[in-house]
Amino acid sequence: MTTPIMTVSDLHKTYGKPGTKQYEALKGIDFDVQPGEFVGIMGASGSGKTTLLNMLATLDKPTSGEVTIHQQPITHLKGNQLADFRAKEIGFIFQDFNLLETMTAFENIALPLTLQNVASKKIKPAVEAVATQLGIAEFLNNYPNELSGGQKQRVAAAQALINEPAMLFGDEPTGALDSKSARELLDLFTKINQERAVSILLVTHDPFSASYCQRILFIKDGRIGQELHRGEQSRADFYQQILDNLGTFEQ
């Protein structure tokens, strides 16, 4: 057994200040992610998926529990350490294309590097390499409003990957895409997962998206209820298994 790239132990999150109306969105979550693994988190709307992802990706702080990435505890990171960690170790892709509409695709992708004051000589080849891999090399000079949803999501993926992060987080990244673009993006995730050996954590409520993962954790009422492994199954079979599982799980 290798050392996991990410460990999550006894994670709790309660919304609302003590004394006011409180809501416990996460009630103790435990799991690990191995290096290079493609993990899905599935659950109905309101089950706590986004809440969990925000804790894992340092976007919010848990009420209790710990998350480590590369053996480094991350829940207490603050200020510059936190910013550095975000810039170097992780990348995100959200449903609503996290691109700056004031900058071209190239500038958007390069942003994490310029933030680290990487020399512009090194930036150009790095951006071009990742853009070529993701099939958006020809759109580098376009502004986000000149791109389709699928292209935007690929630019966002390129931006997330430019710093060669250890983990890539996606919160319903296909949520705003048509089925063809969604399929292309998921194929791309599989490709970068294999070629770059980057670990991916994908949050989704959609069984089709989930079927691209190697392992799926089902979350319900703030707890992980069940786990499915794809193993050697074809994707179509795995998809069927997920659907069957959902039927019983949601009851």
Partner 1 sequence: MLTKLAMTGFKNRWRDYLVLFSGLIMSSAIFYMFEALATNQEFLKQNSSISMIGIIFQFGAVLLTIITLVYISYANSFLLSMRKRDYGLFMLVGARKGKIGQLIWLETLLVGISATIVGIILGTALTAGIGKLLINTLDLTLHHFAFWHTPAAIATLLLYVGLFLLAGLFNLITLTKTPALKLLHSNEQPNRPRLKPVRQLIEIILGLILVAIGYWAMANLALLNITGIGLALVTIVLGTYFLFNAIFVWLMLFLKRLSAGQRGLNGFTLSQLSFRIRNYTKMLSIVAMLFALALGAITVGMGFHAQTPLMANGNSAYDMGVVDANATEKRQIAKLKPVKKATYHFKADKKAVYYLASEFDQQPFTITEMTSQAQLDYHQKALKSAALSKSHDLYQLMQLQTSDRQRTAPVFLSATAYAKLPQKEQQLTIFATKDLMANLDGLKDLATLRQQRDKGIAKGLLGGRYGSYKLVNGMYSGLEFMGLFLGIAFLAMLASCLMFKILSGADADQHRYVMLDKIGATQKQRRQAINKEIAVLFVLPGIVGVIHVLFGLQMFKLMMIASPYSGIWLPFLIFAGLYLLYYLITINIYHRIVLR
Ligand X SMILES: Nc1ncnc2c1ncn2[C@@H]1O[C@H](COP(=O)(O)OP(=O)(O)O)[C@@H](O)[C@H]1O
* Contact positions vs Mg ion (CB under 5 A): 50
Residues of span 115-134 touching partner 1 by CB under 8 A: 115, 117, 119-120, 123
Q: Which of 122, 159, 121 is nearest to 140 (CA)?
A: 159
Report if residue 111 touches partner 1, rule: CB under 8 A.
yes
Query: Minimum CB separation from Mg ion for residue 177, in Å?
Result: 16
Q: Contact with ligand X (CB under 6 A): which of 30, 46, 100, 231?
A: 46
CB of 51 to partner 1, least distance (A): 16
* 143 is a contact residue toward partner 1 (CB under 8 A): yes
- 74 bridge partner residues: none
Restricted to residues 21-40, the positions that interact with ligand X (CB under 6 A) are 23, 25
- Smallest gap from residue 179 Cβ to ligand X (A): 21
Among ligand X, Mg ion, partner 1, none, partner that 80 touches (CB below 5 to 8 angstroms by kind): partner 1
Tell me the backbone φ, ψ of residue 28, rounded to 5 degrees: 100, 90
181 binds ligand X (CB under 6 A): no
CA distance 242 to 251: 14
Nearer to partner 1, 162 or 216 (CB): 162
| Nearest residue (CB) to ligand X, 107 versus 171 | 171
CB of 66 to partner 1, least distance (A): 21
Q: How far is the CB of 174 from Mg ion (least distance, A)?
A: 13
Residues that bind partner 1 (CB under 8 A): 59, 79-80, 83-88, 92, 98-103, 107, 110-112, 114-115, 117, 119-120, 123, 143, 145, 159
